[in-house]
Amino acid sequence: MQGKSLNHKVLEVFSNENEDSVDLRAGVPVLEYRESVLCPYITVDMTIIDSGTATNSKDGSKGTIGILESIKLQGTEKFKLKLEDQFGNQIDLSGDNDLRVGKTVFAGKGVRESSCSIRVVSKEAFDNTLVERRMTDSYIGKADVLITQALRNLGTEKILSSESSENEIQFNGDNRYPFEMCLDVQKVSVPEGIDSAGYLFWETSRGFNFKSLDKMFDTTGKVIKKFEETGFADNRVSAGFDGKILKSSFVLINDMLKQFEEGAYNTELDLFDILGSDKKFEEIERTSPPEGNGTIAGLNLPILSKEYRDKTTAELHQTKDDGQKIIPGAGLADIKDSSFDIVRTSLQSLQNYRQKFSSSLNIVIDADLSLNAGDLVFCKFPETSQKKSQSRSPKDSGIYMIADLCHYSTPTQAFTGLNLVRDSYGVKT
Cα-trace Rg, the chain: 24
DSSP assignment string, 29-51: SEEEEEEETT-SS-EEEEEEEE-
Strands 324-326 and 168-172: antiparallel
Instruction: Give, to the nearest 10 degrees, the angle between helix 338-356 and helix 178-187.
Output: 90
Strands 376-380 and 223-228: parallel
> Which pLDDT value is given to residue 386?
46
Closest CA to 364 of 416, 315, 407: 416
CATH of domain 219-254+358-429: 2.40.30.150
> Which pLDDT value is given to residue 78?
93
Structure-model confidence comparison of residues 389 and 231, the more confident one: 231
- Answer whether residue 405 shows pLDDT above 50: yes
> Which pLDDT value is given to residue 112?
58
Confidence label for 194 from pLDDT (cuts 50, 70 and 90): confident
Taking residues 195-203, what's their average pLDDT? 86
CA atoms of 124 and 139, how far apart (whole Å): 21
- Answer whether residue 332 shows pLDDT above 50: no
- Domain-by-domain residue ranges, the chain? 7-123, 219-254+358-429, 256-321+332-354
* Cβ atoms within 10 Å of 306's Cβ, excluding its own: 7
286 and 399 Cβ atoms separated by less than 8 Å? no
Report the predicted TM-score, pTM, of the whole model to 2 decimal places. 0.79
CA atoms of 63 and 28, how far apart (whole Å): 18
Mean pLDDT of the residues in the chain: 77
CATH superfamily of 7-123: Trypsin-like serine proteases (2.40.10.10)
